């Protein structure tokens, strides 16, 4: 007689213990491999309109499985830097996700470098540290950045341009020059404070990953 017993807790992947004639024989554990998780992450990034490229050893195997848009198994640092420079000229920002320490020439003009702490040491450009080696949170990071950018943009759009008050003050013909200047500067200060509060409030609502 063979008995299969699921040892997994609720919400966990199945873990089956096989018993034969009442004696435990084997335990089968099921789960998601790293490459399967990475494929789901790439699919979500693609749905957000983010193009992905993988390079380095193993790229020819990993790239097709995860659905990367471009695969460079043998690309050197110089060629990769030139490729990123061409993207920049065309108006595309390319961020780097590091699984190992990167060559300094690759990161000197990167908008941001994302990776575990051990891959970010000595990097001068802005970095986002991953708490672990999983990239599962990248799509949420993209959404958080887009939400923050939208909120800050809306906060800025709702305020009166500060230089407009200076122009209005200059046309206040019934006031003398000193009074006009005082009114203009006071108005500019007030609008600047409003802008600052709205933008800080928008930034303060950003998600924490």
For residue range 33-45, list pLDDT tens digits in order.
577 788 888 888 8
Residue 121 and residue 51 share a domain: yes
15 burial (CB, 10 Å; 0-12 / 13-18 / 19+) is middle
The residue with tokens 């990953």 is 209
Please tell me whether residues 82 and 49 are part of one structural domain: yes
User: How far is residue 184's CA from residue 105's CA, in Å, rounded to a whole number?
Assistant: 48
Q: Are residues 164 and 135 in the same domain?
A: no
- Sheet of strand 23-29: strand arrangement: 2-6, 15-20, 23-29
What's phi and psi for 70, nearest 5 deg?
Answer: -140, 145
In tens, the pLDDT along 146-193 reads 776 666 555 555 544 444 444 443 444 444 444 444 444 444 444 445
Whether residue 146 is contained in a domain is answered as no
Same domain for 161 and 192, yes or no, is yes
Chain position carrying tokens 């990071």: 141
pLDDT in tens, 50-93: 888 888 777 888 888 888 888 888 878 788 888 888 888 888 77
209 in a domain, yes or no? no
Cα 140 from chain centroid? 7
CA dist., res. 95 & res. 109, Å (int) = 10
Residue 82 shares a structural domain with residue 112? yes
pLDDT at position 163: 46
Residues 42 and 131 in one domain: yes
pTM: 0.52
Q: How far apart are CA 135 and CA 153, in angstroms?
A: 28
Residue 14, domain member (yes or no): yes
Q: Which domain holds residue 46?
A: 34-140
Let me know whether 178 and 199 are in one domain: yes
99 and 193 fall within a common domain: no
- pLDDT tens profile 151-160: 655 555 554 4
Return the CATH number at 48: 3.40.50.1000
Is residue 128 within 8 Å of residue 114, measured between CB atoms? yes
Q: Are residues 47 and 119 in the same domain?
A: yes
Q: How many domains does the chain have?
A: 3
């Amino acid at each position: 007689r063979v008995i299969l017993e699921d040892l997994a807790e609720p919400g966990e992947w199945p873990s089956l213990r096989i018993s034969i004639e009442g004696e435990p024989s084997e335990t089968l554990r099921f789960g998601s491999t790293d490459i399967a998780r990475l494929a789901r992450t790439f699919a979500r990034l693609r749905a957000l309109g983010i193009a992905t490229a993988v390079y380095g050893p193993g790229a020819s195997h990993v790239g097709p499985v995860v659905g990367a848009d471009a695969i460079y198994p043998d690309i050197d640092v110089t060629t990769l830097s030139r490729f990123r420079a061409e993207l920049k000229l065309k108006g595309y920002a390319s961020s780097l996700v590091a699984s190992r320490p990167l060559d300094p020439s690759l990161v000197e003009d990167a908008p941001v470098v994302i990776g575990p702490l051990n891959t970010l040491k000595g990097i001068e450009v802005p970095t986002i540290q991953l708490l672990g080696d999983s990239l599962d949170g990248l799509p949420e990071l993209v959404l958080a950045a887009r939400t923050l950018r939208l909120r800050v943009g809306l906060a800025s759009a709702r305020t009166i341009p500060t230089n407009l008050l200076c122009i209005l003050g200059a046309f206040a013909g019934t006031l003398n020059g000193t009074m006009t200047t005082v009114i203009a500067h006071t108005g500019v200060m007030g609008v600047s404070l409003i802008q600052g509060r709205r933008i800080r409030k928008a930034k303060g609502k950003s998600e924490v990953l």
